[in-house]
Structure 1
């Protein structure tokens, strides 16, 4: 690839975001570039004392229909698409009075921002840009001759090349800008198409696209030999993609994945009702608890498994206070994420220079609709978010014994946690704290036994007479296909069970519960998490 420089003699600027516009336009003018513009952009440039031609002068056709029609004209698209070294194209330009446009600067109508602020249907429609994407695609296609800029952060790169190349751009820059331009229009159209699908309540539209804006290039992916990057989507769900990082090293791929798991789990706990803490390791909670304050909740969560939290992720559902910050930082922790933090807490965390402190501003709504996506070979699996919340479910007692109020409180707590643990999942809980977690096993019996063994280890560490699974309740993310899994939980000391129900052997499982005097409730909803 040669430098293939192309001198910029004429630039068309049409931007909704005018950040840096005037400085850029002044610099272009200093290189002798003729400025052509539209509407508000033209007014802003003229108000700065710069000479600018309105696009209507170029086309000989007035802007009309509330600005819907202004750049959709052969003299614009011909100026962008004409191949400069093609004699036939040059002759057509001369015959029809088409002037070349060597630089296009367009950022699109703020459709995503309009949707995000909750605007009405008609307002969203009016913020769908038509002329902008058409010009961007035309300029990007003809990048051998035309440079296209779709956001202000690339202004300086263009100016640097004009200065270095006597008013010309190189092919390398134009190719890079063209690739970015097509990615931008693709993400823009993805946002529009997904908005339309939601408006039309189309659960499975014929085509589905997702787009995002780069947040950061990551050092590597799950493993050092994998490349990775982090993108923000138009969905402004509070979480790791929207946080303000106050300190600490750059987040890694695994940090981001684990932090998302932690914050989605903590969102299940209403901060107006209780303080809560979630400790996550390898995308699975290893300790979750409620308490009267964050310190109490953290200590109870940590007691569930005193080994796994080292190097883990901590999520809390209230403003991080100094006392909680002091206790949490006693061990090695990778990330703390909270809605907010006090200045004193921030100062305490600052003493651990590598510890990332993330403030999300608010908690995500566990009931909110949304989509999740996962790649598979040759395809994309898309589903609605699991927004079932145990407080909204009708719980049905299926055993002779009805759970006590304390058991029912803990059953709801355990099922809330089970939603966020990899299947097969078994959660033992007592006094609104996890006391044993079995995650991701191929057999539900194995999950029950692993969780019980973890509880035994925790009891040994704390020098307790018996594990806290004695007198606990237990939650299963899906039904017990046989009684053996539930019997393993009873053996560990569980006195009450919450599960979805729906097995062909439900009656066998219920009978086993009754035989052991166990209370059991069905939710009718399962929480597979793969």
Structure 2
């Protein structure tokens, strides 16, 4: 009886020696190549080189070694098809029953600093994916493995029954095809970026499972968290959890919203988020002051919220944070004293994430719709304040101008229709997600009603009518920033002049649906 044959060619050598020894004990002949063959030989495991199988030398710097009928015929030949069997005999092609292959480290290569295009290209595996695809296509007879985590299952089944089950072979084949699809997607993305291709005729995306979630937005919805295959440094996926329960689906979405808001600010800043909207944003001379400003923006809504701070959390700030029920605190770091204070709270999640390095925040964002996907650039536009137009008679004071800049940064992260009332230190009132702009204006004014003397107001889009401006004028707010662009802009300008309001048009809209 002909020995069964296993082809082993791996870049990840984890567990390969023990796996090969067990295959040999189960009477498998081992075919191997290059570094894998050397590793096995060094561990006294007998192998057959690829050249001995193909009767053809490895060539072109290793680019061609497994692309041969005696390899792919041995993988693709159907054992149950008499014509296939006869053809294989005629051409002296022996079946290969098991393939264990993982691919050249393309992903790791392109993440290296200063990697050259030539180096990236040389790490595109051709033979490996070809073998995986051939073996997977013939999973009726061939076992294919791409992940050391599956060695134990395969050996266990081989030991118990002499073969793997068809169910296992199908699962492993599907996993191999997912693996090659992800690998090809990374290559396609890299080459597309190299030639600066814009809109592509097809979109290939790949993400890696980071975490299985207990449930989604609601307890009856299943959910998972996938991270970009090429890690994004400034992202919730890259944060290090120091304490607390696992993140939930809603935690992750809120934390992501927190980071997007925080990306606007360089000075010490604290952002508090509830249900994807800010309930308070504050800045200050230090992180304690910034947090207190954010807290005082809305001390009611912050309960059960998520906080991001862009400086280390010290003991003084931690004492204040510990007095509030919070789901998550995100910061670059926590002092030892702060950790001691905060970790006394069993369930609070503490995440560490460097916030000064935000070079990769300009990535595209994807939104699923039934039967499709919307793709757009993230709204990371840094507005040129020199292009803003003061359209009213009264000019803003320097303090008002500082507050308008701050409010304008905040309003772009509030669900539209969005209104933000603020001073130059913190938000005072936020109206979010209303079906008309008057509704959002009323909510923001109601929240800020005791603090309107020095307040300014930002709108994410133009006022379609003068009614909101009239409400603002009656409240006592004296400065507005908005995109402009309505056919009734002049009515809003005249209403602002009536109440002595200074109003700036930015010509930039920040809808957030």
What TM-score does the superposition give when structure 1 sets the normalisation length?
0.91
Distance 2:221 2:15 in 1: 36
Structure-2 residue corresponding to 1:526? 509
Match of residue 273, structure 2, among 268, 273, 280: 280
Structure-2 residue corresponding to 1:220? 215
Q: 1:122, CA displacement in angstroms?
A: 2.5
Distance 2:434 2:259 in 1: 23
Per the alignment, in what secondary structure is the counterpart of residue 448 of structure 2? helix
Deviates more, 1:145-154 or 1:413-422: 145-154
Distance 1:440 1:367 in 2: 28
Q: Does residue 504 of the first structure (1) align with residue 487 of the second (2)?
A: yes
Deviates more, 1:419-428 or 1:469-478: 469-478
What TM-score does the superposition give when structure 2 sets the normalisation length?
0.93
Per the alignment, in what secondary structure is the counterpart of residue 318 of structure 1? coil
Match of residue 454, structure 1, among 447, 451, 462: 447
Q: Does residue 485 of the first structure (1) align with residue 481 of the second (2)?
A: no
Q: Does residue 294 of the first structure (1) align with residue 277 of the second (2)?
A: no
Q: 1:143, CA displacement in angstroms?
A: 1.5
Residues 310 and 332 of structure 2 are in contact (CA less than 8 Å); yes or no, is this contact kept in structure 1? Answer: yes
Residues 145 and 172 of structure 2 are in contact (CA less than 8 Å); yes or no, is this contact kept in structure 1? Answer: yes
Structure-2 residue corresponding to 1:266? 262
Structure-2 residue corresponding to 1:462? none
Distance 1:149 1:489 in 2: 66
Q: 1:391, CA displacement in angstroms?
A: 6.2
Structure 2 runs not aligned, ≥5 long: none
Distance 1:117 1:439 in 2: 42
Distance 1:214 1:175 in 2: 20
Q: Does residue 9 of the first structure (1) align with residue 4 of the second (2)?
A: yes
> Aligned runs of 1:20-31 on 2, under 5 Å?
20-31=15-26
Structure-2 residue corresponding to 1:102? 97
Residues 406 and 424 of structure 2 are in contact (CA less than 8 Å); yes or no, is this contact kept in structure 1? Answer: no
Change (3 A) 1:363 1:136: farther
Match of residue 472, structure 1, among 452, 455, 459: 455
Q: 1:367, CA displacement in angstroms?
A: 7.6
Q: Does residue 339 of the first structure (1) align with residue 322 of the second (2)?
A: no
Per the alignment, in what secondary structure is the counterpart of residue 182 of structure 1? helix
> Aligned runs of 1:127-276 on 2, under 5 Å?
127-166=123-162, 168-237=163-232, 238-270=234-266, 274-276=267-269
Residues 421 and 439 of structure 1 are in contact (CA less than 8 Å); yes or no, is this contact kept in structure 2? Answer: yes
Deviates more, 1:250-259 or 1:102-111: 102-111
Per the alignment, in what secondary structure is the counterpart of residue 421 of structure 1? coil
Change (3 A) 1:51 1:220: same
Per the alignment, in what secondary structure is the counterpart of residue 169 of structure 1? coil
Per the alignment, in what secondary structure is the counterpart of residue 56 of structure 1? helix
Structure-1 residue corresponding to 2:348? 355
Moved over 4 A (4+): none
Distance 1:473 1:192 in 2: 49
Residues 267 and 366 of structure 1 are in contact (CA less than 8 Å); yes or no, is this contact kept in structure 2? Answer: no
> Aligned runs of 1:48-59 on 2, under 5 Å?
48-59=43-54
Change (3 A) 1:319 1:221: same
Match of residue 302, structure 2, among 305, 309, 313: 309
Change (3 A) 1:78 1:257: same
Q: How many residues align?
A: 510
Deviates more, 1:155-164 or 1:347-356: 155-164
Q: 1:363, CA displacement in angstroms?
A: 4.8
Q: 1:138, CA displacement in angstroms?
A: 1.6
Distance 2:357 2:436 in 1: 32
Distance 1:328 1:287 in 2: 14
Residues 244 and 360 of structure 1 are in contact (CA less than 8 Å); yes or no, is this contact kept in structure 2? Answer: yes
Distance 2:224 2:370 in 1: 20
Q: 1:429, CA displacement in angstroms?
A: 0.8
Distance 1:487 1:18 in 2: 71
Q: 1:182, CA displacement in angstroms?
A: 1.5
Residues 214 and 248 of structure 2 are in contact (CA less than 8 Å); yes or no, is this contact kept in structure 1? Answer: yes
Q: Which whole-Å deviations, capped at 9, do the CAs of 1:278-304 have from their partners, x for residues lacking one?
A: 111111111111112222211211111
Residues 308 and 331 of structure 2 are in contact (CA less than 8 Å); yes or no, is this contact kept in structure 1? Answer: yes
Distance 2:154 2:336 in 1: 42
Distance 2:30 2:438 in 1: 72
Q: Does residue 123 of the first structure (1) align with residue 119 of the second (2)?
A: yes
Q: Which whole-Å deviations, capped at 9, do the CAs of 1:423-476 have from their partners, x for residues lacking one?
A: 1111111132111111111111111111122234xxxxxxxxxx2233211111
Distance 2:364 2:63 in 1: 32
Residues 326 and 348 of structure 1 are in contact (CA less than 8 Å); yes or no, is this contact kept in structure 2? Answer: yes
Q: 1:228, CA displacement in angstroms?
A: 1.0
Structure-1 residue corresponding to 2:86? 91
Change (3 A) 1:142 1:223: same
Per the alignment, in what secondary structure is the counterpart of residue 162 of structure 1? helix
Deviates more, 1:127-136 or 1:204-213: 127-136
Q: Does residue 387 of the first structure (1) align with residue 380 of the second (2)?
A: yes
Q: 1:314, CA displacement in angstroms?
A: 1.0
Change (3 A) 1:23 1:293: farther
Q: Which whole-Å deviations, capped at 9, do the CAs of 1:151-188 have from their partners, x for residues lacking one?
A: 2222233233333334x212222122112112222222
Change (3 A) 1:60 1:493: farther
Q: 1:8, CA displacement in angstroms?
A: 9.2
